[in-house]
Every structure is written in C-alpha cells, then in structure tokens.
Chain A
Amino acid sequence: MSKSTNGHMNTENLECKECTNAENLMDKHREAIRKQAETMIHHSGNDIAKMSTDDIQKLLFDFQVHQIELKMQNEELNRAQQELTASRDTYAQLYDSSPVGYLTLTETGIIEKANIAAATLLGCPKDELINKRLGKFIHPLDQDNYYLFIHRLLTQRTSQAYSTKTRNSCDSPTHPECKYFQLCPDVSHSSGNNKLPTYIECYASVVYNEKNALQICLTINNITERKQAQETIAYLNEKLEEKVRRQTSELIVSNLSLMKKVEELRRSKHQLLEREAKLNSIFNASVEGIITVDMSNIIVSANAAVETIFGYKPEELVGYSISQLIPSSSREMNDYISPDDVKLIGQIQEVEGAHKNGFIVPLDMSIAEFSVDNAHYFTHIVRDVSLRKSREQQDKEHLDELAHVTRLGLMGEMASGIAHEVNQPLSAISSYTQVSLNLMNADDPDLVKLTEILHKTQQQALRAGRIIHRMREFVKSHAKHRSTAEINNLIHEAVGLCIPELKQNCIKLSFELENNLPPLNVDHVQIEQVIINLLRNSVDALKTLPPKQQRHIAIHSRMTLNDSIQVRVKDNGPGLDPDQQQKILTPFYTTKADGMGMGLSISRSLIEAHDGTLHFNSQLGKGTTFYFILPIRSKSDEH
C-alpha cells in the first residue's frame, strides 16, 4: 500500500516542475522579442532628433497609443497564456488520470509518451516506458499480430483496433481499479511466475507532429476482465457445448435404441400380422376340424373343415354346445375343467362324433387350452379317422389272409410229417384190429384181452382224429376270433404238429413252462402259427448241423415284470451272422434254399396284431433264441 502512495506523490511533483518550466520559458521569450523590436527601430532610420516637435509630439502620442494597445494586447496574451496553461494542465491531468491508456509511438514503435494508465497497463513506470519498444511488452505469442497491426497501420494510415496479451508478472503493484491484474514495470523486472496474462485493446491512429514526424497514437484498454470473462464464457460455453454434445450423443444413442425398438415393434407387429395370416390360412385350410369352446362348452369358433367332418357349417355351430358334435366330449370336459386335472390336454383320444346326417364319425381328438383375460378356452382339434380305421381293418384282413396263406404253405411243408403222424395211429389201429380178429377166430376167444385191445384201438382212432382236427383248425381260414387261452396249452398244441419233424431230425425238445400263467385273450391259431414258425425255423437251423452233433430246442414260457408273457424258442444251431440278424425279420429274406422268407415277418405281424413284440438274439456258433412278448391285457381288449 505504501508503495502505491509513493508512486502517486511522485507523479504530482512531476506536474509542478512542468509548470515552472513553462513560466520561465515565457519570460525569456518576452525579452527576446523586446530586443528584436529595439533592433528593428534602430535600423529603420527614423531618428527622433531630426524630427519636428509636432511630429515628435504626434509620434509620442502614437507611441502612447501603441503602448496602451500593446499593454492591452499583452494582457490579452497573458490571459490567453494563462488560459492555455490552464487548459494544458487540464489536458495533462486528463491525460494522466484517464483510465484509458494512451501511448504515443514513433514510426518505429518506440514509446515517446505514455500516460499513467498505459504505464500501469504495461506494468512499467511511466518514465521508464519512454524510448522503449512497445513490442517488448507484448506477449511473445502476440508478437506477429502486433507487428502486422503496426504495419497495417502505417501502410493504411487508418485507425486500427488490436487486442493483445501483454507479458506480465505478478510481483508488480496492483492497480487500484484493476486489482485483478498484476502488472510489472518492465519485462526485466518480472519474476517469471506470471499467472494471469493482461489483455489490452489498442485503438491506433497515425498523426504527424509539429516536426512533421509520423506518430502513432495508441489508446489501450484493459480488456483482461472482459477477455477473462470471455474466456470463462468460452470455457463455460465449451463446457456447456460438451455437455450438450454429451447429452446429444446420449440422446442420439437413446434415439437409436428407440428407433430400433420402434423397428422391432414394427417388425413384430408385421410378424404378428404374418402369423395371424398364416394361422388363419392354416385354420381354414386345415384338414382337421378346429373347434374352440368357452368354459361352458359353448362353441366360439369353428373352421371350414368342421363342415366336412360333421356336416354343419361353422356359422351354424357358433353358440351351440360342443356336446352336440362330440357327445362324449362334454362329459370329459366337465371332469377336466377342474384345474388340477389336465391329463386330457395334449393327448390324442379316440372319440365318436355325431354327423348332421345322424351317423357316427370315428375321430381322433386333442384338446389345447388357452386363456385370454382370465377367460379359459379349449380348442378341440378333431380328425376324421374313418378312412384310417377302415384301412386298419383292411390291413388286418390282409394280415389275416396273408397269415392264412402262409399257414397253408406251412401245412404243405409239414404235410409229410403230419401224414406220418396220422399214419402211426392208423397202422396201430390196423394191427390191433387184426389181432382182435385173430383172437375172435380162436376157439376160445380171450375176451379180456380182446377188450383191452379194442380199447387201445379206440385210443389210437381218437388220437388220429385229434391230429386231423388240429390240422384242420390250423389250416382253416377264419375271421378274427379271440378267446382266452393258456399259453402253455398253445405251446403243446403247436409242438404236437411239429413232433414228426423233430423226430425225423433227431431233435431233442425240452420244456420249461411256468405254471399258473394268467390266460391270454388271443387268436389261438395265430399264436400257434407263430410258435410253429419259430419251432420250424429252429428245426431248419439245426438240420444244418453235422449229423453227430446234438440238436436241442428248448421252449420257455414265463411272466415278465410288466404284466406280459414271454415265450422263448431256443436252439443250439449255427446262429446268425450280423448280416443275417439285420435282415432276418424282413419279408422275403431267407437263409433256406427252399424258403419263402415269409415265416418270421408273418410271425412278427401276427404278434404285433396282438400288441406284442417279436425279438431274437443270436450268437454265431452257439444258437439262436426267438422270443415274443404278449401283454396280458392287450389294447384291443379294451375296445
């Protein structure tokens, strides 16, 4: 603070000195004028001594007038001088106290004159500024601009505005009015830790001084605050812009995602429409009847196929109960409506539909459930299976026919064996009767023996009859005829027809039949046919063994875990190689020279017609086992 006060006093002293200098100058000037005037008179030659008194008196008078005039003029001059001095003082005062810096530069940029404000701005005492280059005070970065400014000014001779940054330092006294900015008296004084640059604005004009030299008058304004404000604003602006940019980019991103969502929505809407169109076309083009009912079984919608199945037009059905179409359905539906019981959903059930014309249509029906706004709906999809049913029936008949044909073939193949079998009791009968005749021809017929022999004869006749009956039964074409049967009895019956062949081929047969097996509901003849087929396959396999090798067939029957009965026919024949195993069950595949290749495939069909399965396992060189499994309760029993 004290420094600043000192500075101020210094400037006041300077001003007083200037005043006295001016007065002295004035006095000297006057003396010089007096001398000049005296000299001029002396040289004029108008000598008073040579003049008349009048003239002298006239002259004197003139002189007196002149003197008064001069005095007056002098007074006026003095007054003007005083006024001038006063104005000059005022000017000097204004010049120095102006908050705007004024600088007068020479053509080469050297400071000739500066006011206090300029000195303050440039950070250098006023008298130290004189004869220094203004360029020294300009920030190095602005040097080029400064010289361009000066150059333009000198060439164009017009006023120029220029704003620049000054070099400054921080240890210079702070200007009272510009307390935020630190200035230094000289660059050399700067301590180097200048933090805030001072910004100035220059207005320049070119003038010619009294010596006709070119001068540059500069007006300097401190615009640091403005600049800083500008910078702050710029900074804030930048910040703001950045923020705006960030937000803009965020917005762009969110906009993009929104657009994507919109696009997705559009697409899904399109897909929905497409799906709806597809579903609609499926709905109407479907061969299956599609009937939707509400929770009280009232038909809500039906598709076109319903008409082909039931004879009603879809619009005829809406509003009516589905029980009119599928009588069994409503009952099931009522059961099913309880939420825990969903077992019918998705399952295909066989139901009967009522056609408009009164006849019954066999249907496959599946039910799907959906709900909209808490309302449950059930879609019934029904398919007319009458064609399939009749085809199944046909297939069954074909199978029966085929089975019959193969049975006849089988019987043909077995005929010689069976003939032999029948011949046995016949020839026994023949022998017995001959013996009886011989006995009766005796003188004293042994009646006891005769009775015994006749009894034996009868047994043999019955036996022959049984074989013939079995054969006839086996060959007879018959409609599907199922009844309960003990599997072990069927095995014995079948074996009975094969015994001749077994004997002939020296095959040992053993049984391992489980007792008390539950009865089966089967077609006797067909199951016997399967057993015979399997037995004969084994016989044929065993025939290929060398004569001395033991030949063995074992028949097993047993209960399996899942309520089925398994029958196995096992031989110790040569077995099947993998290739044969793969083909053995296919029709027309045979390993026998004279075989048709139908036996096993027919057997399989027959077993499958009884809801059973036919399998085998075989080991090359060890033998083959064929076995079938029949369920105790077959599906077809239930209908």
Chain B
Amino acid sequence: MTSEPHAFLTIDHGAATASIALIGRVAGTWRLIGSLAFPAGAKIDVAVDLLVGRVRRADPELASSLGIADIDGDALPRFEVHSTRPRRLAVVAGAERTLARLVATAGRSGWRTTGASAETTDPLAMSRLLLDHDVDAILVGAGDPPRADERSAIRELAALVAAVAVRRPDVPIILSGSMAETIDDFGDLSSRPGSIVLAPAASVDGSSWRPRRSLTTAASTAEGPDSADGRPDPLGDLLLESALPADDPRRAIGPATQALADVLHRRVETIVLGHDAGVRAAAEPAVGGMAREVRLAVVPAAAVAPDEPDDAIVDGVLLWSTVPSDRHRIRDRMRELRIAPWSDAAGDGAALRMAAARAALVRLAAATTDFDQAPPDLVVCAGGVWSAVPAPTVALAHVDVLRRSGASQYALDHARLLGTLGAIPDEKERLAVMSDLVDDLLAPLGSVVIPSGLRSGRSAGSVLVHVGDGVSELDLVPGGLELVDLPPGQTAVAEFRFRDRIKLGARGRHFAVDVAGGLGGLLVDLRDVPLRLPDRADRRRDLLAAWQAALWQGSDL
C-alpha cells in the first residue's frame, strides 16, 4: 500500500451532464480506472465517493496499489473544466450580405447571435437590439474594402454603435473589416472598461448558414459548387477566443483532437453534441515536426436542446423521429429536454434523444460544410446525449447525417475525457497524458464503409471480410445496411468487388480496406449518398426504426 494516491480525478462539468473519470498510474502509465456520468445537478463529492467505492469493490488490489483504498474522495487531486452557457453577440452590418457572413462566422465561434443590417433595419430598432440587457458583446462589420451597397451606411452605423458604446461601457465591441477605420468615433478607449477590438472581415460564406429542412441529409460537398474551401478564418478565431475561456471543454476539443491526431498518426475528426452547443474539430498529424492547424467550430445553434424550439427545429426532429408524434407534442418534449435533460431518458425518451441528436447534427453539418471535404481516418463521437443510448447506435446516427463516401473508424469518448485533457495548458504534457490514455478513452464503435454511386435494384457486388485465416462473404444490396460482427480489438481486411465502377474514396470496382472492430462491428452502408428518406412520415419512421433496430436491441420498446 502507498501513502500518496497515484491517481487523480478529471471532472467535466457540462451544461446537462457531469462526467467524472478516475485516472491512475498503473505499470508506469496513466490508465482510465473508471468513470461515471450524472445529471449536472448531482453533488460531485457524492459521485466521486460512489466511483471510488466501486473501484475498491471491483479490484481491491488495484485500489490498494493506487493508494485509494482508504482515503476520502476529496483527497484525490482533481482537474476540472466547466462549460458555460454560450453568450449573446449582437451583430450589425451595413448590408444584408455582410451581415450573413458575420452571423455565419459568429454562429460557429461559440456565440448565440442576434443580427440586423442597416439595409433592412431602422436606427431605432438597431439601437433597441444593441442596448438589450441580454447582449454580452457587439460585432459590427463591413467588407474590406466596403461593398458598394454598404458604403453609405457605414458612417451612420459607426455613429450609432459609438453612442451605444458610451451607454454600455462594459460591453466589448469588435470592429470588423473596414469598420475598423471608424475607431476614432469611439473616443478615448483607455477609459472604457469593455475592450474595443479591431478584427479582419469575415471570410465564411454566409450562404452556408442555412438550416436544412429538406428530406435529404448532408453529403460530401467536395464536388459541390458552393463548397467552402476551409480557408483560415482569423475573425472566427478571434470570436472563439472571446466567446469561451481557454479551459472551456468545448474550446479544448481543438487541442485534444490535435493531440489525438499526433498520437495516432491519423486524420481525426471530433464531433460533440452538447446541451448548449455542437462542436466539430478536425486535425491532421504533425509532419516532420511541423504542427498542422486544427480546425474548430463551436455552434450554439446545433445544441441538442435549443432554448426555443422553433418550427425548423421541431420539423428537423420530426424528420428523424422513430415514434409517432406531432409538432405540438415534439415541441413540448423538446422544451422538457431543455429544462430537464436527464429526465425521461428511457423508453421513447431514448428515441426522442436519438432524433434530437440527429437533428442537431444536421444543423452542425450545415454550419460547418468546410469539414465535409473528405472522410477522416477516425471520427470521435462525444456528448452527454450519448450517455443514455446504446453505444453501437452512435456511429449509425452520425453516418445517417454525414454522408461521406469512404471508410472511417468510429469511436466514442465514453468517459468524456477529451474536453478535460484538451484543457491541459502545456502541449507536451497534454500529448504525454493523451498518449498513455488513448487506448482507454476511446471506446471503439467499429468501422463504417460508405460507397457511393451504386445503382439501385440489383446486387452491387460482394465483400469478402478476411479475419485471420477465416473469410466471410456478403452480397452487397444497394439501399441497405450490411453488418459484419467484428468485435473490439479485432482487425480485418474488407475486400470489395463491385459490378460497376463506384466511388469509395477513389473510383473503381475493386477495393481492399483495412477495418477495425468495435461495439457495432463493421457497417457497410449501401444507402444513398445523400440519404433519401420517404416523404410519408409512417414509412420514414419504419425505415429509420428498421435501420436502428439492427444495432439497438430493445429499441422497439
């Protein structure tokens, strides 16, 4: 027995879920010993005692070697991160097109936005918007150089915002693009408690921020005419830094994803569906010691349970619902989900969560089209919403929405460690801890292969799955899902032989793909890209339920 504990706790205080993990030093490396997820209103100390008590009971010898056999839970060192509710940003611009760009940029940078342009809003309404006591910061912008349709409005807009700056001296103000030239209108900046920041113009195309309401889902936009090009977005970076503190677990997903990519030497994408916001991060491993830039988007509009479920949100949830319902009922249940996210999680409450999560993922994908250019090697799924549903269904929920032709592995951040480990300020230390924990923190969900360009109505070919010395063969029927039982830890080679040339990363007939097992095994997704769902609600529900039932025992309630 040791006198000092060789263990520590990580605690992620989310908006809806508090997650606790016990990390211990075993045989010279950090290992995940156990974890718990609870409603955010629970007492953390009690949950810690429960977790430590379970470890003691499950393996007294391990507990003794970690030095936690007879100590109080509060004696363990803790590393804690807290999610805060996204703050509100009032966005104003001289023209509607500029406003759309600014709102799109701010909306994926951790801010809840309210916007108006001088083109459509009179100065009184705009003053009302900016003086609203719920506004935490103001973004005022114009193109650089200013567009013809906004040139005349910029000076008056600057005068209006400068007057608001006098009346709300504590509110930070960001001047974007050519609005920076009006900084003299704001007088003596040193005496003002709230900062005034100069920022570049928005580079995100505002047209990408349109809630999708059609019955098809997001497909790879690499070939689309309006695909975003993933250019650096300095205004977005600035807004993200001002929206969330450095130790916010959502902002920390960026460094965590980069560390994962470096440790695994693979292209990694992390998708977090949270109560207050959706998060998407993509990173590539460093090459030759040169670090790559991680892309990060925090989208409050992609919250699983938005503040006010409007018609678009309700329709989005209805689209994915596997239980019969109507708009009023769904709206009521979405409100309940917002108020008490852990309540009513069993039965059709679980089905509601799956539908709400898919709808949130659609909104997240719509705000981050630049992430969809090619499937990453590994997709890490995270978020409290997955705490209450069977893990094998998580990958399916993602590929229902993100229709990217290719092959990827899927894993679940089951202990919600990524947000905590990503907040470790020292990069080397973060990398070292991540390197130790990488096998524990990711629960393998399996591999997903999505070919596109299949002709419907007949067999598309076959797949031979080589596992060790054994081979199993499956016929590939377009429009369906084929499941191959491949347990966690098992690897295999999937050899595809298609009748026609199809797209699977590249175009061809024969492909050999390395796949890894998981809780859901190997999933060959032969459905349309993008996914087309029946217009009739009853047929759509039946189809979604049938796809889900293959991975969710007992989902028929």
Q: Bound pair: A and B? A: no
- Chain A interface (Cβ < 8 Å from any Cβ of B): none
